């Protein structure tokens, strides 16, 4: 491992939350104290995309949807 990770007391991994990353981390660093920190940026990107779709005609941010009731 680069930079002496296997000689460290604790290993911290930055992840997007994918299960396979945590699983691989536990296998590679078995027996060591490990911490998996979730990177919030991918979550914020997905939230932004969802909000755009809620208030526009699509994911590309088209024209705003009409609000309120039509009579």
Q: Is residue 60 part of a domain?
A: no
For residue 25 the two structure tokens come to: 């981390």
- Identify the domain containing residue 24 by its residue range: 9-55
Q: Is residue 13 part of a domain?
A: yes
pTM over 0.75: no
Q: Is residue 23 part of a domain?
A: yes
Q: Is residue 3 part of a domain?
A: no
> Which pLDDT belongs to residue 15?
87
Q: Say how many domains are in the chain.
A: 1
Q: Is residue 65 part of a domain?
A: no
Residue 13 has pLDDT above 60, yes or no: yes
Q: Are 35 and 13 in contact (CB under 8 A)?
A: yes
């Amino acid at each position: 491992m680069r930079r002496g990770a296997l000689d460290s007391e604790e290993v911290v991994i930055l992840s997007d939350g994918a299960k396979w990353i945590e699983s691989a981390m536990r296998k590679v660093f078995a027996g060591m104290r490990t911490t998996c920190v979730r990177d919030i940026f991918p979550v914020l990107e997905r939230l932004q995309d969802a909000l755009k779709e809620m208030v526009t005609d699509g994911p590309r941010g088209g024209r705003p949807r009409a609000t309120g009731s039509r009579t």
